[in-house]
Amino acid sequence: MCEIIFIVEKDIEGGFCAHALNHSIITEGEDLAELKLNIKDAIRCHFDNDEEVPKIIRLHMVTEEVFSYA
């Protein structure tokens, strides 16, 4: 595998939450720097050997904005 994609959203309680597409990997962090470290750690724990670990980690940042028509 050469790439893994994470969906990243702001957490209601603060910080960020990330979950991988096509893998059971979920992690969080207080800021983006901590989130990236936690993602790397979660990937190491998820895959059995270094040959399976994706070389590229793609973060898809999801934002939501609400505004009124008036």
Q: Based on the structure, what is the number of domains in the chain?
A: 1
- Residue 67 resides in a domain: no
Write the CB contacts of 41 (distance below 8 Å, at least 6 apart in sequence).
Answer: 27
pLDDT per residue as tens digits for the range 18-55:
999 999 999 999 999 999 999 999 999 999 888 889 99
Structural domain harbouring 14: 3-62
The pLDDT value recorded for residue 1 is 63
- Which of 51, 55, 50, 20 has its CA nearest to residue 38? 20
Model pTM above 0.75: yes
pLDDT of residue 11: 92
pLDDT in tens, 39-49: 999 999 999 88
69 in a domain, yes or no?
no
In a domain, 43, yes or no: yes
> Does any domain span residue 10?
yes
The larger pLDDT score, comparing residue 33 to residue 63, is at 33
Residue 43 in tokens: 């990937």
